[in-house]
Chain A
Amino acid sequence: MIDSKYFIKGFVSIKGVGSPAIALGASFIAIGALLKNLGFSIQESIFSTFLTYALPGSLVMAESMFIGASLINIFVAVWLVNARLYPMTVALMPLLMHEDQPKWKYYLSCHFIAVSSWLIMKEKYKKIERENRLDFWIGIGTATWSVAIVSTVIGYIASDFLNKDILIGLAIINPVYFICMMLGAMETAQISCSIILGTILGPTFYFISPEWCILYGGFVAGTIAYFYGEKNAK
């Protein structure tokens, strides 16, 4: 069903110096503490990371609850902030497609798509033969997902010891880690252009619409970068 050799290979690939475990862990420790302050039980906190596993979505959920937003508002707000997962999935899954693999594995393992696991897979997939990529991916996903769940528990339990300054320190780890990983991913002109334009246009569109700025900015930046890259490649 799942080739354990490649599953384990993927699972252990998150160890080491370039590991996302530290950044991922730090972010979910902060989430654990936040959920406790919101009145979640420990089971509910685990359940939340278990089922959602997307950091900005959990932050938006917490904020919306704080202001007492309606269920529909929560749904829309979370969907908007996590809609980036759609292009991310389309930019990853075709690389893992193989006729020998059953469909359910794709629909189940897409739950593991989050920034850290996605960036690791994008970096490593070339070294894995196509028919084994899905099992390798499930290994990476299970590992990062487990780190997130364990860290949520740690954050929940440790929340009394985490003062405001520590929480602020934990909050910067995630964006700094993502920036560094993206700088490392800038291999082609097309991708570099996407990243640079996205960085500029995302916040620019904030002045037009704070809710839609990530999608508008990302769409415009990515499309310009695509045409720029295609033109240069010819």
Chain B
Amino acid sequence: MQNSILIIILITSLATYLSRFLGVVSSEKIKDTSKMFRWFNCLAYSTLAALIARMIIFPSGALSEIDYIIRFVVVILSISLFYLSKKNLVYPTIFSAIMLSFLSSYL
């Protein structure tokens, strides 16, 4: 590793803050009743959905060691549990972690 960890942290946080900062600059001119605002609202949700879909379908790190069929099954079961539990957020998340840890150690 040639670069110092401190500089890498600063570069990472700068690259992250940049989008937030520019977002506030743009927000000063956008009314929350405008069409522009509604468009950005759609973009925010769709970009988020794209990111999450990518995290599951083309994961990096620990998840990539799991077969994609297993990932799909766990995600589908967790979503079913979400609706079965009347949109509780805690049950499906804990269930998914236990289920995947279990499948990863026995398959």
Give chain B's interface residues, CB within 8 Å of chain A: 1-3, 5-24, 26-28, 30-32, 35, 37-63, 65-66, 71, 74-75, 78-79, 82, 87-90, 92-94, 96-98, 100-102, 104-105
Contacts and interface: CB of A to CB of B under 8 A. Distances in A.
- Pick from B2, B27, B43, B66 the residue with the most CB of A within 10 Å: B43
Nearest to B50: A202
B1 to A, nearest CB: 6
Nearest to B32: A94
Q: Which residue, of B9, B12, B55, B71, has the highest number of chain A Cβ atoms within 10 A?
A: B12
Contacts of B41: 91, 190-191, 194
Contact of A59 (B28, B32, B60): B60
A157 interface: no
Interface stretch (A4-12, A70-78, A144-152): A70-78
Identify whether the interface residues of B are mostly helix, strand, loop, or mixed.
helix
Interface of A: 17-20, 22-23, 26, 30, 34, 39-41, 44, 47-48, 51-54, 56-59, 61-63, 65, 68, 70-71, 74-76, 78-79, 81-95, 97, 106-107, 110-111, 113, 115, 118, 164-185, 190-191, 193-203, 205-206, 210, 213-215, 217-219, 221-223, 225-226, 229-230
B44 A90 contact: yes
Contacts of A181: 89
A91 B12 contact: no
25 contacts: A22-B90, A44-B5, A57-B16, A63-B60, A84-B19, A89-B20, A89-B22, A91-B37, A93-B24, A110-B24, A111-B20, A115-B48, A168-B66, A169-B101, A172-B63, A173-B94, A173-B96, A176-B74, A180-B82, A180-B93, A182-B52, A185-B45, A190-B42, A198-B49, A213-B54
B97 A223 contact: no
B21 A107 contact: yes
Contacts of A210: 58
Contacts of A110: 17, 20-21, 23-24
A25 to B, nearest CB: 11
Given A17-B90, A91-B44, A219-B43, A97 B27 contact: yes
Nearest to B77: A176
Nearest to B59: A171
B46 A197 contact: yes
B46 A218 contact: yes
A67 to B, nearest CB: 10
Nearest to A181: B89
B44 A88 contact: yes
Contact of B8 (A41, A71, A173): A71
Given A51-B13, A59-B60, A168-B63, A74 B8 contact: yes
Contact of B16 (A85, A172, A218): A85
A182 B45 contact: yes
B100 A168 contact: yes
